[in-house]
A and B are shown apart, each in its own frame.
Chain A
Amino acid sequence: MTARITEHNGTPLQRIPVDTVTVDIIENALRNVRVEMDAVLFRTAMSPGIREQGDCFPMVANRDGKMVVGQFGSFIHGLMEAYDGELEEGDIILTNDPYMCGAAVSHLPDWIVLVPIFKDRRHIAWSAMFGHMSDNGGMTPGSIPVQATTIFQEGIRIPPTKLYRKGELQSDILELILHNVRTPQWNRFDLNALVAACNTAARRCVELAERFGDDVFYSTMELMLERNHAAMKQIIEMIVPEEPRSFEDYVCDDGVGGGPYKIKCSLWREGSRAVFDFAGTDPQANSSINFFLSEDMFRMFFGSFTINLFDPQILFNDGFYDLVDVRIPPGSLLKPNYPAALSGRTHALGRIFDVMGGLLGQGAPEALNAAGFSDSPHLFYSGYDNSGEWFQLFQIGFGGIPGRPAGDGPDGHSLWPGFTNVPNEFVEAYFPLRIERYEPIADSGGAGLHRGGNGLSVAYRFLCDGTIAIHDERWLTYPWGVNGGEPGQRSSKLLVRTDGSEHWLPSKCEGVEVKVGDILYFNTWGGGGWGDPYRRDPETVRLDVDRGLVTAAGARRYGVVLNEDGSVDDDATRTLRTQLAAQRGEPDMFNFGGSIEEIKARALEETHLPPPQAPGSVN
């Protein structure tokens, strides 16, 4: 099956020479297009997830479907293969099914809108955007059911479908889709906003082609792709060794008693090509934590993490894909077989970044970051309020940014691009809850020359009876430290009922009933530390204590002893540091906080939760 594009102008676009300055100008203009897509979306979207939190991603691609501007790489090839039909001017495609688009989106709540851009009846480019919808139907409010075993339990599946046909909205289809979700009004607006953003991009592309000429516009996109290719070729040759190296990390559990799941990746270079091989990764889970990882998306992750170091102003794109070979074993956590459930993929998605950081950083410890890219912690709270209206809250939480060569990790910040927290006053005004505490957890960031960022403790007091669901990670394994830095503190969830009883909730759970007055302490993980903590300036540690970011007891992890009045006890500090350094010896490059066996053995005592059962293995 392949889509066919109907053009009424048969003149092919010509590759012609374009001077550098014109390329730079068009590059700049395309950058602005992307900014404008975001602006249009944020203004007109309605759900807090998109408009306050920014959970959405724009893209402009060339005629061949290669991403020229964007973030997560192009998904057009997969889509075009999946769509069997004609595409014409004015058509707009909607889909959300990872199995139908080569995992262009990785779970059903992400809805993609795709617009073929025509000028003078000739197809010249694409614009597309996906956004996370508040609900997609299925087993649980928010549509990320942990316990789903197949994708059919995760809500409505939309194959690549024409939402607009020759400019006309297919309202029957739209209403059918919206009929299947719990938040039809939010989704309607958010979808409308995605379409408006893509249409804006389409208009801008046509204007650019008008201004510079179709052939210049087309050729410039090619040149931009080639620029990335040339740059990435050099980068790969510079940083990827021919000798294989590997790294492994874990997703703590699958929410149904299994885990931890190993993600293993090996890397080597063959000529100018980098090979990433995920052999050794654990098999797919019987819950929704599978992450159907698109090879192209992984290429994009790799490229964007490296190229920024060399020319931050470059518009990052797809141009280098043939330089990266990605091998993922079928049936594994990262390439599950249809119809495995996929909605809880956020955990493995986050972990991919820790794995890549560890893998690439081994060769250049001075550029290596600590771990912290746990995931995006989710909280769902839904029910009927006092006036009988349905409410449904979806909050994304934030943990500590890892210690980095650049310095301390910020406390309670986002590792995802563009994400922001939702103001608590906004949440309180529109949902029946009160946020009684919203602050970083002292000492939760791993000690290091550069401190890991602290995780956040958010205390939600529920003002209506309702149901909550949680998705989080790093409750069992630690956000590791590097170059002598210690691991960050793990996440935890404590529910305190009005009768004073305390319940430690699993990191992934759903259908937990809460009553008026109950409080949930949602504590996220701290970032790992970077570098030797005994080399951190004692004065900086003192200031951290004064600021409530580290406790006086926690200062001892840095070998710093404080006097009663809060000042540094220089002598005691010197003595303690000498003693601690001797005990520790030369630190390893990575500090995982112990082996998996050790961590599991301590689990119940330390986390109040039993350790999960090991999954089998495939190769």
Chain B
Amino acid sequence: MSYRLGVDVGGTFTDLLLINEQSGATFTAKVPSTPEDSSIGVLNGIARICGTNNLDAGEISRVMHGTTVATNAVLTGRGARVGLVTTRGYRQVLQVARSYCPGGLGGWVSFVKKPLLAPLELTIEADERIGAGGEVIRELDEEALTRDLQKLRARGEVESLTICFINAYINDENERRAEAVAGEIFSGVPISISSKVVPEMQEYERTETTVVNAYVRPEVSKYITNLQAALAEQMGSDVILSILRSDGGLASGRASAQSPVNMLMSGPAGGVTGALYFCSRAGYDNILTFDMGGTSTDVALIQNGKARVRRETIVGDVRVRAPSVDVRTVGAGGGSIAFVPELTRALRVGPQSAGAVPGPAAYLKGGEQPTVCDANVVLGYLPADVQLGGAMAIDKSAADAAVQKLADAMDISLMEAAEGIIRIVNESMFGALRLVSVEQGYDPRDFSLVGFGGAGPLHANALGILTGSWPVIIPPGPGVLCAYGDATTQVQDEAARTYITMAEDTSSENLLDDLRSLRLRASESLSADGIREQDLEAFYQADLRYTGQAYQITLDFTEQELENGGILSLTRRFDAEHKHLFTFDLGEGHEIVMIRAIVRVRQRTIAELETSGMTTRLEDCKVHDTRYYYDGNWHDAAIYAREKLHEGLTVPGPAVISEMDSTTLVLPGYQAGVDALGNLVINPA
């Protein structure tokens, strides 16, 4: 027997999913996360999942891991003390940033700038200069740099060092020399240089990205080393640990520890790949993912079985140039607080959240303000009398009281207020879904909507109505979907460089040569992890734009395609895509901005689980009757137990389908079928 294990460490829970690679059988577990050292929670979970199912941990050959350890280091400000070396004249590159004050006219009045991740007192300048064409204008003054680095070292504060020089994206010579100098003075301190982390134009973005990498690196590295050692102890030294990257690929533990800036969106990427796993096998290749949690909601668009990847990652206020699955986040979730500003008497939901503490009023943990969750309780969508996997008791009267306050402020009834909260929060989710679909030139009606996360299944049917994305799909284990994603993705790495070349000024041969050398670079880390050349497959990307324009489009292609079609095939595709997005194209002046090689390990297949043979009748799946309020009226409904439902059954709305960690709402006029994979498939009746 061989097993692979998917582990998703979230803020509150650590989810585990064990898959038998031969039979396809799965086992899940959910244990509390241990934020002080996440690896403890992971090991607890492994003990739990093996113990409950009577399995030998030694049979687990691969551990695939999605983690928020890097994200949390950024969000909580608990990263390393980062030192920074800049080109002379640019010490304050992070302090000035892009000079942008958020908010409208007068936004500067209330704008409070966050502390820099590489503080100015730990930032020094080097005498050196590379010109815009890559020429060395000024050699690096190694003597002066040595002196200044020694002074910096003597402060005894720097735990991680970054070097970012102007125009290093086009010539890394001075950065590499500075790295060598620094290596001697800062032995034992990890050093990140911008030309390696992100060789892309724009000094602020490149510096920030390199600094963020340095900021989270010690913490991530410690975590991965500890986890690797603990896993080896339990599963044998040949166990392979991989980490899910923001772009939805897997990287080895070793590679991740060096470029942790690439795993800031590891968590959300797991959800997207998990959704993809269930939907593509069920025949849905065009989907919108809708992952609604307690404080925020992530949405993404997947076309032809591929998630869109963008060249930017945003975590809180931090924005870095690292590829990530194009997940948009809105600051609204089940815990978002609803309120009525006195002056305008409008109903607002979020961005404040009740979080885990004090939590929604219904949880009786001290929360008194009405939340989205409370509105769901008031309306009967989250029945107080259904055991939610034993997780939380729900008190309906507390939810009623909280929402009533809001109703009084607006002078409307309790039920109207509760439904108002749900409509408003659904509208902001709809806004996020439009952002990834309509605003990118896609019609959401051509997609299916996949709801997961703690609260996604409750709101998914309503969002299906707003977006017209049918069917609405609730995959099995919507609360542990990220762990599914972790367990089912491929190991990959990439190498990229800024190209800035007019398409007409280069030849297909030159481009191919450059791409091939990138492919070699991308394969290095995989070879270092012992993966054989013949198990690798590669594809390429080029970012194109009309010269002078800011917007770039990333095109995927294979070596074969470039050989056959030449550069013309790329520029033609670019024109078509540009027209699709912006209603016009120019047909000339194509600039190749970046090129990239992506190398990944060929997929090892997992057997499909046999699920036929269940014969329970629908009425046997029913828990009891209930009623809920929708669209201004009460509706009689039934509550069903999800674990008893199987292929062939159809649950008519109005209904509530309950399972361990999630509740699915089926609205009047809609019905939920069950497919062979266990997906709930909601359609108009």
Contacts and interface: CB of A to CB of B under 8 A. Distances in A.
Interface in B421-468: 423-424, 427-428, 431, 434-435, 439
Nearest to A200: B439
A413 B99 contact: yes
A401 interface: yes
A304 interface: yes
- Which of B98, B120, B412 has most chain A Cβ within 10 Å? B98
Nearest to A431: B132
A36 B106 contact: no
B604 interface: no
Given A413-B99, A547-B120, A437 B427 contact: no
A314 B96 contact: no
B98 A231 contact: no
A60 to B, nearest CB: 15
B121 A546 contact: yes
Interface of B: 88-93, 95-96, 98-101, 103-113, 119-121, 129, 131-132, 137, 166-167, 169, 201-205, 341, 343-348, 410, 412, 419-420, 423-424, 427-428, 431, 434-435, 439, 500, 546, 548-551, 581-584
A308 B106 contact: yes
A316 interface: yes
A439 to B, nearest CB: 5
Nearest to B137: A434
A311 B107 contact: no
A186 B428 CA distance: 36
Contacts of A546: 120-121
Interface in A301-315: 301, 304-305, 308, 310-314
A32 B166 contact: no
19 contacts: A28-B424, A28-B431, A43-B582, A301-B105, A311-B341, A311-B344, A401-B108, A401-B111, A410-B101, A410-B108, A412-B95, A414-B101, A417-B105, A421-B96, A425-B169, A436-B129, A438-B96, A439-B92, A440-B95
Contacts of A300: 105
Contacts of B129: 434, 436
B98 A421 contact: yes
Q: Top 3 nearest A-B pairs by Cβ distance? A: A437-B89, A547-B120, A43-B551
A394 to B, nearest CB: 14
Given A43-B549, A409-B108, 20 more contacts: A24-B424, A24-B427, A28-B427, A40-B582, A43-B581, A196-B582, A196-B584, A230-B344, A308-B107, A413-B99, A420-B99, A423-B204, A425-B132, A426-B202, A429-B132, A429-B500, A437-B90, A438-B92, A459-B89, A548-B120
A71 B167 CA distance: 36
B6 to A, nearest CB: 35
Contacts of B166: 424-425
A440 B90 CA distance: 10
A409 B103 CA distance: 15
A72 B132 CA distance: 38
A549 B120 contact: yes
Contact of A305 (B106, B420, B500): B106
A456 interface: yes
Given A24-B348, A548-B91, A310 B343 contact: yes
Nearest to A436: B89
A417 B103 contact: yes
B346 A20 contact: yes
- Which of A42, A234, A304, A418 has most chain B Cβ within 10 Å? A418
Interface in A396-442: 398, 401, 404, 406-407, 409-415, 417-421, 423-426, 428-429, 434-440
A467 interface: no
B96 A28 contact: no
A439 B167 contact: no
A302 to B, nearest CB: 10
A574 to B, nearest CB: 25
A411 B95 contact: yes
A425 B203 contact: yes
A599 B91 CA distance: 34
Contacts of A185: 548
A342 to B, nearest CB: 21
A146 B104 CA distance: 29
Contact of B93 (A39, A418, A438): A438
A3 interface: no
B105 A305 contact: yes
Contacts of B132: 425, 428-429, 434
Interface stretch (A10-18, A44-52, A332-340): A44-52
Given A196-B582, A439-B92, A25 B108 contact: no
Given A24-B424, A429-B132, A547-B120, A410 B111 contact: yes
B501 to A, nearest CB: 12
Contacts of B202: 423, 425-426
B431 to A, nearest CB: 5
Nearest to B345: A20
Contact of A440 (B96, B119, B121, B343): B96
- Which of A29, A185, A439 has most chain B Cβ within 10 Å? A439
B91 A227 contact: no
Nearest to B439: A36
Given A51-B549, A52-B550, A434-B132, A419 B99 contact: yes
A20 B347 CA distance: 7
B35 to A, nearest CB: 30
B168 to A, nearest CB: 9
B106 A414 contact: no
Contacts of A543: 121
Interface in A444-467: 456, 459
Contacts of A398: 96, 99
B431 A29 contact: yes
A176 interface: no
B108 A20 contact: no
A551 interface: no
A182 to B, nearest CB: 15
B350 to A, nearest CB: 10
Interface string A51-90: 1100000000000000000011000000000000000000
A192 interface: yes
B90 A429 contact: no
Contacts of A234: 343
A410 B113 contact: yes
